[in-house]
Amino acid sequence: MSAPFVIIGAGQAAAQAAVSLRAEGYGGEIVMLGDETHLPYQRPPLSKAFLAGEMSADRLELKAPNFYPDSGIDVRLGTRAVRLLPAEKAVETDGGIRIPYERALIATGTRARALPVPGADLQGVFSIRTIDDVARFRAAAQAGAKLVIVGGGYIGLEVAAKANKMGLDVTVVEGQPRVLARVACEDISRYAAGLQLAHGVRVLTATGVATLTGTDRVSGVELSTGAVLPADLVLSAVGAVPNVELAAEAGLAIENGIKVDAAARTSDPCIFAAGDVASFPSALYGRRIRLESVQNAIDQAKAAAKSMLGGAVAYDPVPWFWSDQYDTKLQIAGLLDGFERTETEGDVAAGRFCVRYFAGERPIAVCSVNDPRSHMLARRALAAPLAQGSAA
């Protein structure tokens, strides 16, 4: 009897990989290891509807609880993989159990980047990456409480919007000259900041955080200017770090995540990786990329499952993302790194427009605000070079 396929992680990519292995006809044993106590669930609502209490925990679940046993998928929750042993083709858990594998998939995702200032370990300082994180935050987030969000990226602004509607007094502090500086042009940044200001959220840009003040519990945020913002709660939203430690300690190649090829295969031919933790070669963008998005987690997991079974795979997607803030939906197709110019179309004042990004004359990305048609057209247009390349 052959060893099982072992999936390390129990998030979106892990669940999709298990589903796809069965869909591809794999009838062997599948073991999924998850260090949380929750069945695989979707994470985007954590900073949106779930945070605001508009969605229950059971609605976050990707599959009904009986799906996994009915499909012969052995999900072991509250179980952390602590060692990957490629020479022995085994995974060791925190309970000291060694699980042999025929193929292993690493889908360990990311964790919140630590806020690198004194006082970050005080009570009342939060990050949002898991259901339990949100539960703790909501328990402390009483109406009227002063919340300081450190980081003006997508997560920071999404939480600001929901916290504002929950009755909190919200201030966003961003070290860059504008919000969304790493992921959007000035037009989008200006619109996003204006949206927050219009709802009463204070936005401080080009402002660093020196320290968090308080004894046992946070009471304030001292800024790089020397000013101190009173704070009952602080949310750290300064990005994420891929969970590569298990792979690195096993000797797998690491390059901005676990390095995989277009077939989701790591430097060990029996070990694969998918989702937020994996970096892969993109022919479309001519470089290695790592994507933190639901669609990548789903699609790369499908590719990994097929590859694990010996199928021919050449994964090279058009990346796309979205962000909901108040009644505004921001959708992004492509990657805008290295853009040289932009073109804005539509009515910015009315909050329905798109921004096209170009490297020379080549379109590389489109950001759409309340304009789903431009988003879908952009995804098709950006995929065209891939289709032409395949045809050639």
Q: Please report the pLDDT score of residue 100 as a whole number.
A: 98
Position 388 scores a pLDDT of: 46
Tokens for 190, please give them.
Answer: 């200006």
The pLDDT tens digits for 24-70 are 999 999 999 999 999 999 999 999 999 999 999 999 999 999 999 99
Phi, psi of 173, rounded to the nearest 5 degrees? -115, 120
Reported as a single tens digit per residue, the pLDDT across 121-136 is: 999 999 999 999 999 9
- Return the amino acid letter for 211: T
Angle at the Cα of 191 (from 190 to 193), degrees rounded to 5? 65
pLDDT value at residue 1: 62
Q: Tokens 């994470």 — which residue?
A: 43
* Spatial CA neighbour of 159 closest among 28, 3, 325: 325
Longest CA–CA span in the chain (Å) reads 66
Domains of the chain from N-terminus onward: 5-111+241-308 (3.50.50.60), 114-238 (3.50.50.60), 327-391 (3.30.390.30)
Mean pLDDT by groups of 10 residues along the chain of 392 residues: 93 98 97 97 94 92 96 98 98 97 98 96 96 96 97 96 97 96 89 96 98 97 97 97 98 98 98 98 92 96 98 94 93 90 92 93 92 93 62 34
CB 365 within 8 A of CB 335: yes
Helix, strand or coil for residue 61? strand
pLDDT for position 387: 45
Q: Which residues are paired to 282 by β-bridges?
A: 287
Q: What is d(CA 305, CA 314) in angstroms, rounded to the nearest whole number?
A: 13
User: What distance in Å separates the CA atoms of residue 168 and residue 205, rounded to the nearest whole number?
Assistant: 20
pTM for this entry: 0.94
